[in-house]
């Protein structure tokens, strides 16, 4: 069965939605870790989060940038400045995620937990802007992929 433009955009919206949900899940897990510092940390969950953080972000960002952004540009070329900003935020988040991964791994393996305050600050500096980025994508970018009421 041939794929219509509507089908392509609908599939794009599904991919985008899955990416956004996966990243909101990361935000919740980062916040849970921050709230559990310094003595109530689930070290196993923290180690899993550290391992998944960068790879999940990279996978979502690549899907957004290679599948979703080109679809958006086909609909409206004026959106390119917005997409450039989102791409820049993706890179910042991936850089920050690398530092956080190392800090979480160091924290869960350390006998003394002196760096809890620093780690908590780093975690909040990750999930608060990431939630803002995701909210923008949900509220502003996602509607470009969905059919309007008149279609
Ligand atoms: Fe994004």
Question: Tens digits of per-residue pLDDT, 69-118?
Answer: 999 999 888 999 999 999 999 999 999 999 999 999 999 888 667 789 99
Q: Is 39 left (phi over 0), alpha (psi -120 to 50) or beta?
A: alpha
Which residues, other chains included, contact 22 with Cβ-Cβ below 8 Å and sequence gap of 6+?
A: 56, 60
Q: Is the dihedral of CA 66, 98, 104, 28 positive or negative?
A: negative
> Does domain 5-142 correspond to CATH entry 1.20.120?
yes
> Would you list the domain boundaries of the chain?
5-142
**pTM (predicted TM-score):** 0.91
Q: Predicted confidence band at 1 (pLDDT cuts at 50, 70, 90)?
A: low
Rounded to the nearest angstrom, the distance between the alpha carbon of 61 and the centre of ligand 1 is 6
Rounded to the nearest angstrom, the distance between the alpha carbon of 64 and the centre of ligand 1 is 6
Rounded to the nearest angstrom, the distance between the alpha carbon of 31 and the centre of ligand 1 is 19
């Amino acid at each position: 069965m041939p794929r219509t433009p509507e089908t392509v955009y609908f599939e794009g919206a599904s991919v985008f939605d899955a990416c956004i949900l996966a990243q909101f899940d990361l935000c919740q897990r980062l916040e849970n870790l921050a709230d559990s510092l310094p003595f109530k940390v689930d070290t196993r969950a923290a180690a899993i989060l550290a391992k998944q953080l960068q790879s999940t972000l990279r996978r979502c960002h690549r899907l957004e940038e290679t599948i979703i952004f080109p679809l958006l540009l086909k609909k409206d070329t004026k959106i390119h400045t917005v997409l450039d900003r989102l791409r820049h935020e993706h890179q910042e988040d991936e850089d920050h995620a690398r530092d956080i991964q190392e800090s979480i791994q160091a924290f869960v393996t350390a006998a003394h937990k002196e760096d809890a305050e620093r780690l908590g600050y780093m975690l909040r500096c990750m999930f608060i802007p990431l939630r803002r980025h995701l909210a923008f994508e949900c509220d502003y970018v996602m509607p470009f992929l969905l059919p309007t009421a008149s279609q």
